[in-house]
Structure 1
Amino acid sequence: MLDHLAFFYQVIIASEFLLKEAIFLLGDDGFEGDLKAFYAKHLEDEKGHAEWLKEDLGEHPINLHFGAAQLAGMAYYLVRHVHPVALLGYMKALEGHPIPIEYVEAVEKAHGAQAGRTLRLHAIEDPHHMQELEAVAVPSQWAPLVESTRLQTRKLIEGLS
């Protein structure tokens, strides 16, 4: 269980930088301005979560997981070299499958309440975040990229399980 958390720690540490990169690359007007504001709000919502998860892991080692590097690397490439809207698909894949509360409770039972702190927060917040992600109006030209990114991210995650 804690190895699973360590994997997600590595995914989460990339999230802040992905959001910052997307914000940097987006324009200030129209769709890009709206998307930039959405990413800035999400960045604020996610602030500190990686550090919390690291604290939750306590002394458990965080070994390099190349699957986390694959996920983040794909997202970095798409944000930087295709369009920052691709990050929406990545976020939908990660937040569109909320952590079951039963899993959180199993982690807490096995490793103490502290180990489940950040998991519990995401189990509660991710459904709300998904509603926000779905509400973002994506121009038709970018909708296939968002959906393809979501599907590819899910495929990578499922292949790692």
Structure 2
Amino acid sequence: MTATASLALRTKLTPTAPVLRAATAALWRPEGLRRRYVRYLAAMHPLVRASVPLLERAAERCAGLDDPAARRLGAYCVRHAEEERDHDAWLLDDLAAAGAGPLAVPPPVVVELVGAQYYRVEHEHPVTLLGYIAVLEGNAPGPRLADRLIEATGLPGSAFRTLREHAELDGGHLDDLHRVLDDLALTPEGQTAVSVSALHTAHLLTRLFHSLAAEPGGHP
């Protein structure tokens, strides 16, 4: 029996899981956590701010392509853009509650994460965006992380809305993405493009987490 596209993608990403887990563990270690959490929020804001424009651009590209997969993908991008809308505002609210504000200049690795997707959407195929989304939503915060960080940092609960919301939402979003990926009936070349995008994203996300975890004062 031929493996589904979503199973093939999960299999490709399996070697990245322990590396990302280690980076995440370093990020959330107790020492200096309050300051590091604020830096995390500030770094995630420009990343999340790019989500809706990326999805909308991917939908536009799909509309200009003459293949059934692109039409189905475009509908997903439009739907998911609405699901992600205003999440960057949540991060601004979290930052304000933590006594901080957004960065004037996005961290370079965040620009790399987002910029790679713009390149792939424009010059490869918008389906590559599914690899990016799969990694981000497949590494969402756990359901108890916000409570643990509130206790460890002493910050108010209002500084953790984004973590709480994404812990609840991203599992369902990932299931939806896997269904869409399987329904697209991609060619082997299309599946490879999604996998390459996902692996690149996992590498850059690991870099981001390691840089945020760096002491003293590592910069993404």
Whether these two folds match at TM > 0.5 is yes
Match of 1:69? Answer: 111
Residue 2 of structure 1, CA deviation: 1.3
How far residue 27 of structure 1 moved from its aligned partner, in angstroms, is 2.6
Aligned mate of 2:143, from 72, 92, 101: 101
Asked if 1:115 corresponds to 2:155, the answer is: no
Which of 124, 145, 158 does residue 168 from structure 2 map onto? 124
Q: Are 1:151 and 2:199 counterparts?
A: yes
Structure of higher RCO (CA pairs closer than 8 Å, 6+ residues apart):
2
The CA distance in 1 between the partners of 2:120 and 2:147, in whole Å, is 35
CA contact (8 A) 1:107 1:115 kept: no
For residues 32-78 of structure 1, give each alpha carbon's deviation from its aligned partner in whole angstroms, at most 9, with x where no partner exists.
11111111110111111101111111041322311111100111110
CA RMSD of aligned residues (A): 1.5
How do 1:1-161 and structure 2 match up within 5 A? Answer: 1-27=37-63, 30-58=68-96, 59-63=99-103, 64-109=106-151, 110=153, 111-136=155-180, 137-138=183-184, 139-140=186-187, 141-161=189-209
Q: Structure 1 stretches (4+) deviating beyond 2 angstroms? A: 61-64, 106-110
Residue type at the aligned position of 2:102:
I
Where does the alignment leave 5 or more consecutive residues of structure 1 unmatched?
none
Normalising by structure 2, we get a TM-score of: 0.69
Which is further off, 138-147 or 81-90? 138-147
- Residues of 1 paired with 2:177 and 2:126: CA distance? 14
Post-superposition offset of 1:89: 0.5
CA distance in structure 2 between the partners assigned to 1:95 and 1:133 by the alignment? 10
The answer to whether the 8 Å contact 2:62/2:70 transfers is yes
Aligned equivalents of 1:49, 1:98: Cα separation in 2: 14
Task: Quote the Cα distance in structure 1 between the aligned partners of 2:101 and 2:121.
Answer: 30
Describe the SS at the equivalent of 2:125.
Answer: coil
- Whether the aligned pair in 1 keeps the contact of 2:110 and 2:208 (CA below 8 Å) is no
**Offset of residue 6 of structure 1:** 1.3
For residue 106 of structure 1, report the CA deviation from its aligned partner: 3.0
Q: Which runs of 5+ in 2 are unaligned?
A: 1-36, 210-220
Q: Which deviates the most, 54-63 or 81-90?
A: 54-63
SS at match of 1:85: helix
Report the AA paired with residue 38 of structure 2. Answer: L
Instruction: Tell me if structure 2 keeps the 8 A contact 1:96–1:127.
Output: yes
1:101 Cα shift? 2.5
Separation in structure 2 between the aligned mates of residue 42 and residue 90 of structure 1, nearest angstrom:
13
| % identity of equivalent residues | 31
- The one-character-per-residue Cα deviations of 1:89-134 (angstroms, maximum 9, x if unpaired) are 0000100112123322233332211111111110111111110111
